[in-house]
Amino acid sequence: MLAEILTIGDELCRGEVVDTNSSWLAQALWELEVTVAWMSSCRDDRPDMERALRDATGRADLVVVSGGLGPTQDDLTVDVVAAMLGVAPVIHEPSRKLMEERFAAAKFRLTPNNLRQVEVPEGAFVLANPVGLAPGFEVSMSGTPVVCMPGVPRELKAIFTSAVKDRVVALRESRGERVQRIARRIYRTFGAGESHIATRLEGVGADSAGTSIHYQAKFPEVLVKLVIRDRDQSAAMERLESLDSEIRERLTPDLYGTDDDSLPAALGRALMNVGATMATAESCTGGMIGALITEVAGSSAYYLGGAVTYSNEEKKRQLGVSEATLVEHGAVSEACVVEMARGARDRVGVDYAVAVSGVAGPQGGTAEKPVGTVWVAVVGPRGSATKRLQWPGDRQRIRRLTAHWALRMILGALRDDSVDRAQDDPRAGQKASQTAERPGGAGAGAENE
Amino acid sequence: MLAEILTIGDELCRGEVVDTNSSWLAQALWELEVTVAWMSSCRDDRPDMERALRDATGRADLVVVSGGLGPTQDDLTVDVVAAMLGVAPVIHEPSRKLMEERFAAAKFRLTPNNLRQVEVPEGAFVLANPVGLAPGFEVSMSGTPVVCMPGVPRELKAIFTSAVKDRVVALRESRGERVQRIARRIYRTFGAGESHIATRLEGVGADSAGTSIHYQAKFPEVLVKLVIRDRDQSAAMERLESLDSEIRERLTPDLYGTDDDSLPAALGRALMNVGATMATAESCTGGMIGALITEVAGSSAYYLGGAVTYSNEEKKRQLGVSEATLVEHGAVSEACVVEMARGARDRVGVDYAVAVSGVAGPQGGTAEKPVGTVWVAVVGPRGSATKRLQWPGDRQRIRRLTAHWALRMILGALRDDSVDRAQDDPRAGQKASQTAERPGGAGAGAENE
């Protein structure tokens, strides 16, 4: 089954908006085993839309349309489709009722314009919009099913997920295609390159038919998508679970989560698990590490704050870095980041602190420390770890990589410490804050208890 | 002249990559007064590519193709176009020579695969690639000019700018179109909504033919694009300049720069202009303000650092916020952010400091301070300013808006102070650091002199 995605809108063809609906739909259809062969866009223009629809229905087995279902005279999808089918646009009563209720609740007055949003071509199969006003619909044009949805991404996704997905499966089955059910999981990694990650997974699932692994570099991460196809959903899921532990093992220590997880969220969970707190000490990232950590709602439970020490003066004043270290080793050095992290840990009074200092460029590089040289240190209750990074790339790339490495190194320290604790005493290991090395008087950690 | 943009690649049709080339090309063509009527994408597949090219040349006057010019067997654009024209792919000798030179310089061995990148259809007009290996080319298919470029965005943009732009003008002129030259300027604003900005510019350029103003909300900014069309480039530019000062006046105080400028860069220039330094004190943004400021290369000349004080303890310890303020007014209060900013200014020893504290959500809101309540304070040598913000939106949106408001408020303080200085003494006003209120002993500011 070959599909075409057609997105409609002047703003697309003038390049004012990047078309993210097409890629979202393409991915969703790909996962339903429908091959998207063409994606096209055209303006809010009757003849162009007719032409685009004719070309699409002429070359694809399924056409998925987004856009042109709004309330204004620019929104022409219903009119054009109806005219091509030789039917009239009609008001879809259940959608009109819903609209009236919502308008009444919000005390808005309904104008005739608004009613355009609840029109569909006469005889169309209506697809309810769970999060908006304009319903989607499906018609058949020259024998090809055409599904139309609003261009608002949130509404498009809701309609596709709640109604179109099942319909696509039904359409495939009606064509006599052997429809397989899909189980999938995305493994999210940070720290190794795409080819390195792929090499580590070589052979996984090789003896299992219908199993495929896909790699996607999504800076600064590499995503691994495991897809299992089977006639039966639960069989597919079972086979996915049977591969899960091997994949996790092979992706250690770069794996931090699955599906919609994020590195800051994974770090937050790991800290909460052991009731630990943390602080940051940032130079070249200028605050980006703290900004990432606090993307997570509720991060105040484990993140207390930190210092942005862009100047050497501030490294001394806020974190107690010694003049001797700065003179002897410079600000971009192992000695400096260790002192920065120690200073942040002691002064903020937390279990873990991470510090970074580097040459983000484009100026400031030397032969010994070229642009892209970064030192990261993490100091915890059981010791410290440091890493020297050296990347090519522009200033923004270097800073983003540095910030992500900082998060990853705290995660690594938490993991190592939990192994250590488990070895010390099988009953211990619940709270890093119970170790002897914990800074005295750090009341904040206790707030989580 | 109607154009079609065709982007080629399996990764597009699987939804792994969002197609930014199409919107870039659409915008570039729109500015050349070429209407993009269709944009399409297809897979790296011979029959599909042939079909897409046939459909495109059948409906458009110009086809611009991106992708499929790499070194692998998946890259089929040259082969498909050559086959459709009934010619052979041939090596473009100047491009081959250039490739050999670059490979030799980098000590890479050239493989036969690499040579695929310098092939073009026999008889094609070659478009040099100033930044990569694979040249672009132009052919005529069924009388329609077809321009092919590599899909690497940097290379595509370089070829389009250096070679395709002029070619498009020539093509239009050869069709007898009255080609107008375009002068344009983007005015970048932050702080007011799109409709508000549009209202302020009502009537500007209304009596000047060929003048148009376009608005684009690009969160968190609103861009105003002024476009003047005239037969003659210098006449268009002159007319643009004649409108410039009125537009700037009407957009004050929300205008911060033009074209590719950024708010952090504009702030950096404003600080450098008066030799002033600054620091940050962040709560709900967690470091984002510092991260934005340090996006600018060379920001260490004016940004010394700051404090991320996510907990109340840290607000007291790092910035000297009083317990009484926290108890009486809470952390999200005018009193608290003023103390935070004063603390940062005094302790870091800078001319200006900005502080923010707010409820980013989704939890933590109250009736008095609902989610989205944020206080911002800026303290400078001549006093302080505060602002209470209240926005709807999710956590990330609220944080980004807050961080941008922080930058804008420092810019505002710098502007106000320079007006004050000019009123005090027409000869003064070059350096905020010369004012009496400058914190004593702030050596860091002097480093810029």
Concatenated DSSP letters of B23-72: HHHHHHHHHTT-EEEEEEEE-S-HHHHHHHHHHHHHH-SEEEEE---SSS
Beta strands in B324-382 (DSSP E): 352-358, 373-380
Q: What's the confidence (pLDDT) of residue A193? A: 87
* DSSP-derived 3-state class of residue A302: coil
Answer yes or no: are the C-beta atoms of A348 and B308 closer than 8 Å: no
Q: Does B285 touch chain A (CB under 8 A)?
A: yes
Q: Does B109 touch chain A (CB under 8 A)?
A: no
- Interatomic CA distance for residues A346 and A341, integer angstroms: 9
Say whether A313 and B443 touch across the interface (CB within 8 A).
yes
- Taking CA atoms, A295 is separated from A137, A268, A440, B306, in Å, by 38, 10, 29, 19
Closest Cα in chain A, distance from residue B426 (Å): 33
- Identify which of A199, A185, A363, A172 has the alpha carbon closest to the alpha carbon of residue B299: A363
Instruction: Tell me how long chain B is.
Output: 449
* pLDDT (tens place) for every residue of chain A, 449 residues total: 899 999 999 999 999 889 999 999 999 999 888 999 999 999 999 999 999 999 999 999 999 999 999 887 888 999 999 999 999 999 999 999 999 998 888 788 887 778 889 999 999 999 999 998 999 999 999 999 999 999 999 999 999 999 999 999 999 999 888 888 889 999 999 999 888 899 999 999 988 888 989 888 888 999 999 999 888 889 999 999 999 999 999 999 999 999 999 999 999 999 999 999 999 999 999 999 999 999 999 999 999 999 999 999 999 999 999 999 999 999 999 999 999 999 999 999 999 999 999 999 898 899 999 999 999 999 999 999 999 999 888 899 999 999 999 999 999 999 998 887 777 765 544 433 333 333 333 333 222 22
CA B306 to chain centre: 26
- List of residues 6+ apart from A318 with CB closer than 8 A: A281, A307, A309, A343, A347, B305, B307, B318
Six token digits for residue A422: 């488990």
Say whether A216 and B16 touch across the interface (CB within 8 A).
yes
Q: What's the confidence (pLDDT) of residue A441? A: 33
- Identify which of A440, A442, A272 has the alpha carbon closest to the alpha carbon of residue B313: A442
- Which residues lie across from B434 on neighbouring strands? none
Q: Residue A137: how many CA atoms within 13 Å on its side-chain side?
A: 28
Predicted-assembly ipTM surpassing the 0.85 threshold = no
Which residues in chain B touch residue A29, judged by CB atoms under 8 angstroms apart?
15
Interface mutation vs chain A, best among B10, B40, B309, most A CBs within 10 Å: B40
> Which CATH architecture group holds A263-446?
Alpha-Beta Complex (3.90)
Q: Does B22 touch chain A (CB under 8 A)?
A: yes
CB pairs under 8 A between A and B: 240
* b/e B319-346 (16+ beta carbons within 10 angstroms → b): bebeeebbeeebbbbbbbbbbbbbbbbb
Q: What's the confidence (pLDDT) of residue B49? A: 97
The minimal CB distance from A280 to the residues B295, B308, B360 is found for B308
Q: What's the confidence (pLDDT) of residue A432? A: 37
Q: Does B396 touch chain A (CB under 8 A)?
A: yes
Closest Cα in chain A, distance from residue B91 (Å): 30
Q: Which residue has the higher pLDDT, B112 or A78?
A: A78
Say whether B45 and A37 touch across the interface (CB within 8 A).
yes
- List of residues 6+ apart from B125 with CB closer than 8 A: B137, B138, B139
- For residue A362, whether the previous peptide bond is cis, meaning omega lies within 30 degrees of 0, is yes
- B302-348 pLDDT per residue, tens: 999 999 999 999 999 999 999 999 999 999 999 999 999 999 999 99
Average pLDDT over chain B reads 91
Nearest 5 degrees, angle CA A269-CA A272-CA A274?
A: 115
Proportion of chain A in helix, strand, coil states, percent, rounded to 5: 45, 25, 35
- Identify which of B112, B116, B159 has the alpha carbon closest to the alpha carbon of residue B137: B159
Q: Does B442 touch chain A (CB under 8 A)?
A: no
Strands laid side by side in the A181-189 sheet: A211-218, A221-230, A181-189, A255-258
* DSSP-derived 3-state class of residue B228: strand
- Taking CA atoms, B125 is separated from A348, B70, B128, B139, B170, in Å, by 66, 19, 10, 7, 14
Longest dimension (CA), chain A: 84
Q: What pTM was estimated for this model as a whole?
A: 0.83
Which string of DSSP letters, residue by residue, matches B118-146? TEEETTPEEE--SSSSS-EEEEEETTEEE
Q: Does B289 touch chain A (CB under 8 A)?
A: yes
**Tokens 């609220």 — which residue?**
B398
Answer yes or no: are the C-beta atoms of B92 and B123 closer than 8 Å: no
Say whether A30 and B40 touch across the interface (CB within 8 A).
no
* Domain segments of chain B as ranges: 2-174, 181-258, 263-446
Which residues in chain B touch residue A311, judged by CB atoms under 8 angstroms apart?
300, 304-305, 444
Six token digits for residue B56: 């495109």
Q: Residue B218: how many CA atoms within 13 Å on its side-chain side?
A: 15
Q: What's the confidence (pLDDT) of residue B426? A: 52
Q: Which strand (E) or helix (H) includes residue A341?
A: helix A334-348
Mean pLDDT of B178-192: 91
Q: Which residue has the higher pLDDT, B268 or A232?
A: B268
Which residues in chain A touch residue B318, judged by CB atoms under 8 angstroms apart?
305, 307, 318
Q: Does B288 touch chain A (CB under 8 A)?
A: yes
Q: Does the pLDDT of residue B284 top 90, yes or no?
A: yes
Q: What's the confidence (pLDDT) of residue A442? A: 31
- Interatomic CA distance for residues B206 and A206, integer angstroms: 68
Answer yes or no: are the C-beta atoms of B278 and B410 closer than 8 Å: yes
- Neighbour tally for A356: CB within 10 Å: 30
- Taking CA atoms, B31 is separated from A360, B27, B164, B183, B224, in Å, by 35, 6, 13, 9, 15
Answer yes or no: are the C-beta atoms of A211 and A228 closer than 8 Å: yes
- Which residues lie across from A184 on neighbouring strands? A227
Q: What's the confidence (pLDDT) of residue B303? A: 98
Task: Name the CA radius of gyration of chain A, rounded.
Answer: 28
- B195-254 pLDDT per residue, tens: 889 999 999 998 888 898 988 888 899 999 999 988 888 999 999 999 999 999 999 999
Say whether A306 and B300 touch across the interface (CB within 8 A).
no
Q: Does A39 touch chain B (CB under 8 A)?
A: yes
Say whether A37 and B13 touch across the interface (CB within 8 A).
yes
- Which residues lie across from B138 on neighbouring strands? B125, B147
- Interatomic CA distance for residues B423 and B256, integer angstroms: 23
Say whether B41 and A38 touch across the interface (CB within 8 A).
yes
Q: What's the confidence (pLDDT) of residue B114? A: 84
Torsion over CA: B389, B390, B396, B397 (sign): negative
- Identify which of A322, A325, A326, A291 has the alpha carbon closest to the alpha carbon of residue A306: A291
The minimal CB distance from A285 to the residues B48, B289, B291 is found for B291
Asked if CATH classification 1.10.420.10 holds for the domain at B2-174, the reply, yes or no, is no
Q: Among residues 169-198 of chain A, which lie with CB inside 8 Å of chain B?
A: none
List the CATH code of the domain at B181-258: 3.30.70.2860
Say whether A27 and B14 touch across the interface (CB within 8 A).
yes
